[in-house]
Amino acid sequence: MGTTSNQERNTHEVFSVYCQIKNQLVDDLGTSIHNICNKPKTLGFKKQNLEDMFDSLIIIILIAFFSSLLIGFLTIKISKRLLKPARNDVKAVQSAHATQVPRMGSLLIIFSLFLGAIFQSSEMPEANFLLKLLLSVSPVALIGLSEDLGVHMRPRVRILAAALSGAVFIIVFGEWLPRADFPGLNLAVQWVPFAMLFSIFLTVSISHAFNLIDGLNGLAAITAISSAIALATIANSVELYTHRDVLILLVAAISGFLLLNFPFARIFLGDAGSYSIGHMLSWISISILWNTEAVTPWAILLIFFWPVADTILAIVRRFSKGKAIFQPDRLHFHQLMMRGVEIVLLGRNRRMIANPLATVLMLPLIVSPMSAGVIFATDSHNAALAALAFTVLFIAAYLTGLTVAKKMRNRRIS
């Protein structure tokens, strides 16, 4: 009897375990079937999230654009009524304008980007990226704005402020130039201290370059918008969507300013605006290089080719004549183009038309290297060859323009 009772007990325990396993399998199978049946709904929910994110981005873009435009109108009104011109830009050596214009375009762009950041959800990476980017730009923006308001800042002070902004970016983001795709330099940037300093040098140069080309209505703004679109296209191709979206917001903010700056300038970027734009674009490009190995630095050089080439030419030109490299002159490419339009097409005293027309005529020269940068974004060899070809074309075009200008001047004198 004892043996039989034990057997029955064992049989009952085995049966209980069997039932538990069976029920668990049924539950698991039921859960799997439920998930399979509801998979389209899950995908639909994700699709809805993507649609919501896209709609949110469109709203933020509109906020950035219209806030830039609105702040621009307010700035122009306040400047005319309350602010007395603290500096006479019309008499400056490099001036290409005939009337005094407010130089506070930086307020439009920075405030509109800030509004775009705070209206985004805190869960969106674009908001975090944009706020840190604006933090890094603050030193050079403040020094530049002081200059724009009439407090004289020596060029070296602005350069140091741009370098400080670069250092803040490195501290906040922890990113710098990871490679150069150039023999010798590639090895050098593997040493972190050199890579950091070299990154700051490059970005300060680009920031200063945007300041130098800010001489015609819309020229710097259109160049910046084109650069941002080119960088956004590259970022999208390598799935860096946060970089892409921030660049699109930057395009929207600058576009609001552009409507007030082109064709007839009612407001200028000023030092704060041009340096800030150069800072943001150059460091975003370095961040793209940091976050993907697919993009070649030569493509980035092509995107910034025009302002960089014009700046290098200005340094060589002034150094060869024994002048200080920060001493302004009237021999930038865009200045030759405007004078050529005045002399050949319109005649004197038509600067209001010659100024924006010169910008339009220069657009193919500015956009062509950028297009090559986008096409050869992942092709280091062809991108380097394209950079060399555009360098030759740039020098040839400048020398030709200089020769023609001298001949036209001599003909008028004789």
Look at 140 and 46; give whichever has higher pLDDT. 140
Yes or no: say if 102 and 83 are a contact pair by the CB < 8 Å rule. yes
State if pTM tops 0.75: yes
Q: How confident is the model at residue 66 (pLDDT cuts 50, 70, 90)?
A: very high
- Calpha distance 165→280 (Å, rounded): 10
pLDDT at 55: 65
Eight-class DSSP state of 344: I
Weakest mean pLDDT among 20-29, 200-209, 252-261, 375-384: 20-29
246: closest CA among 268, 265, 231, 263?
231
406: closest CA among 310, 340, 314?
340
Yes or no: say if 253 and 68 are a contact pair by the CB < 8 Å rule. yes
Q: Which residue has the tokens 């706020």?
A: 131
Residue 27 one-letter amino acid:
D
pLDDT at 155: 85
Per the structure block, which two tokens stand in for 62?
Answer: 């509109």
222 has pLDDT over 90 = yes
Average pLDDT of the residues of the chain: 82
**For 31-56, what is the mean pLDDT?**
44
**For 133-149, what is the mean pLDDT?**
94
Among 218-222, 300-304, 396-400, name the most confident range.
300-304
123 has pLDDT over 80 = no
Instruction: Give the domain ranges of the chain.
Output: 104-413
Q: What is the DSSP string of 223-285?
A: HHHHHHHHHHHHHHHTT-HHHHHHHHHHHHHHHHHHHHHSSS-SS--HHHHHHHHHHHHHHHH
Residue 158 one-letter amino acid:
R
pLDDT at 291: 97
Q: How many CA atoms lie within 13 A of 316 on its CB side?
A: 7
Per the structure block, which two tokens stand in for 8?
Answer: 């029955």
- Calpha distance 377→58 (Å, rounded): 27
For residue range 146-176, list pLDDT tens digits in order. Answer: 998 888 888 889 999 999 999 999 999 999 9
Q: How confident is the model at residue 320 (pLDDT cuts 50, 70, 90)?
A: confident
Q: How many CA atoms lie within 13 A of 155 on its CB side?
A: 12
Angle between helices 105-118 and 39-81 (to 10 degrees): 150
Q: How confident is the model at residue 18 (pLDDT cuts 50, 70, 90)?
A: very low
What are the b/e assignments for 355-377, b being 16+ CB within 10 Å? bbbbbbebeebbbbbbbbbbebb
- Calpha distance 135→276 (Å, rounded): 11
Eight-class DSSP state of 140: H
Q: How far is CA 356 from CA 251, 274, 304, 337, 344, in A?
A: 20, 18, 21, 11, 15
